[in-house]
A and B are shown apart, each in its own frame.
Chain A
């Protein structure tokens, strides 16, 4: 069993839809959670960084962490074609600096 599970998709939605991306994890030592967006042939871009259970909002993006269920989510409101990319969840244990990535979910937002 992988430490971090993420559905690779692809996920196709119409423009304006609310997108829900999810990851589950098995290691209860993970304390810090990140979401990255990666366009084709580019490096990942940090979208959200959270370290506690609950919600964190930044513009059209909301990150949600449920440590009791070992489940994290990223919601994208009013999705745009420019949001089409691969979204990677990543997490890290306290005291360590090695990120553990999910497989990435490919998202396509069509006009």
Chain B
């Protein structure tokens, strides 16, 4: 199956700093990448969708200036949490789909803790 990696797998940062999370498709070209947030014992909440070379489309209620998404190539998307605060602590997961495909392949997730 298609493989998606994320880095880092976990990160601890201080309040007010920025954190960048990388998402890579390792064996296919990801024309569309997605970023999700998941709280304990809850389902995934879509934050934004990005197509390669285009600006990301954010879901309602997600601050685009706080969660910066870049999809610069067909294998890499990044999520930067700017000026992080403790309420941003969560499990962030990316997914990717190939051209003309509906199924999404997920990365292993990144656990962010803001102190």
Within 8 A of A (CB), among B10-25: none
Chain B, interface residues (CB within 8 Å), range: 20 to 34
A104 touches B43 (CB 8 A): yes
Cα–Cα distance between A45 and B93 once the two chains are bound (Å):
12
- Nearest-CB residue, chain B, relative to A34: B103
Label chain A's interface by main secondary structure: loop
B109 touches A43 (CB 8 A): yes
Partner of A46, one of B46, B105, B107: B105
Number of interface residues of A (CB under 8 A): 20
Cα–Cα distance between A102 and B49 once the two chains are bound (Å):
19
A97 touches B44 (CB 8 A): no
Label chain B's interface by main secondary structure: strand
Q: Does A60 contact B (CB under 8 A)?
A: no
Q: Does A44 contact B (CB under 8 A)?
A: yes
Cα–Cα distance between A34 and B103 once the two chains are bound (Å):
7
- Nearest-CB residue, chain A, relative to B94: A43
Please list the residues of chain B having a beta carbon within 8 angstroms of any beta carbon in chain A.
1, 4, 6, 32, 34, 42-44, 46, 49, 91, 93, 95, 97, 102-109, 111
20 contacts between A and B (CB under 8 A): A32-B102, A43-B95, A43-B107, A43-B108, A43-B109, A44-B93, A46-B1, A46-B103, A46-B104, A49-B102, A49-B103, A51-B102, A92-B102, A97-B102, A98-B46, A98-B49, A99-B34, A102-B43, A103-B42, A104-B43
Instruction: List 8 additional A-B contacts (Cβ < 8 Å) besides A34-B104, A42-B108.
Output: A41-B109, A41-B111, A44-B93, A44-B106, A88-B44, A98-B46, A99-B104, A101-B44
